[in-house]
Amino acid sequence: MPFFYYFDPTYILVVIGLLISVWAQISVQSTFNKYSRMRISRGFTGADAARQVLSSGGVNDVTVKSIRGSMTDHYDPRDNSISLSETVGGISSAAAIGVAAHEAGHALQHAEGYGPIKLRMSIIPVCNFASGMAMPLFLLGFLFSSWNPETNFGLLMMQAGIIAFSIAVFFQVVTLPVEFNASRRAMAALEASGAYTDEELYGARKVLRAAAMTYVAALAVSLLQVLRLVILSNSNRRR
């Protein structure tokens, strides 16, 4: 048989997803590097910015600590702490204050009981389980349907895999407003502090926008994957 008989046209969706992911990662890394070179005139570090944001919301029980690595910053609601990486916590740059303030924005969300973040926390166990089961279910269903096309069992397994994957995608949908809201809170607090110039705030905002686009890109890639699974399932059904 000719070579093109084996070509799966849905790989085009995989390539598109890969390009989106690479673009988002390059964008956030280049933006972070650029504004890491913009020093803060008053010498405030990322840790200082995080504390400023926390103070603006009247939150005084969050620990700000250092961790190793680069761009490994995160807020942990389990011990109510903000962990700032070596390229953020002790660094005085527009990139550092933006990233640190964003994590403090998550702490403000938890202190307030912000709806979307409560929803995200509540669905994590289900979404983790669904994410782990999605591809095994789909692949087993695809193989079973190929071996025994006269039964619907394989198709049902594929559909179950698609549903499981869609549940995991829902987690990413919920994540978007959480991340955008944390950045909005962060920038509002930094602006209100009066501690930064317009240029420094612009740099911090650019870093946060680039970081936010990684979440948008991840959602786009997941939606392309769902579309691919649906196409494969439908093509297998028509055999």
Alpha-carbon gap, residue 144 to 48, rounded angstroms: 57
Q: Which of 68, 75, 70 is nearest to 101 (CA)?
A: 75
Encode the chain in three state secondary structure: CCHHHHCCCCHHHHHHHHHHHHHHHHHHHHHHHHHHCCECCCCCCHHHHHHHHHHHCCCCCCEEEECCCCCCCEEECCCCEEEECCCCCCCCEHHHHHHHHHHHHHHHHHHHCCHHHHHHHHHHHHHHHHHHHHHHHHHHHHHHHHHCCCCCHHHHHHHHHHHHHHHHHHHHHHHHHHHHHHHHHHHHHHHHHCCCCHHHHHHHHHHHHHHHHHHHHHHHHHHHHHHHHHHHHHHHHCC
Q: What residues form DSSP beta bridges with 65?
A: 83
What are 84's strand-pairing partners? 66
Q: How far apart are CA 114 and CA 106, in angstroms?
A: 9
In the annotation, is 199 catalytic?
no
Catalytic residue among 103, 112, 150, 200: 103
Q: Catalytic positions, please?
A: 103
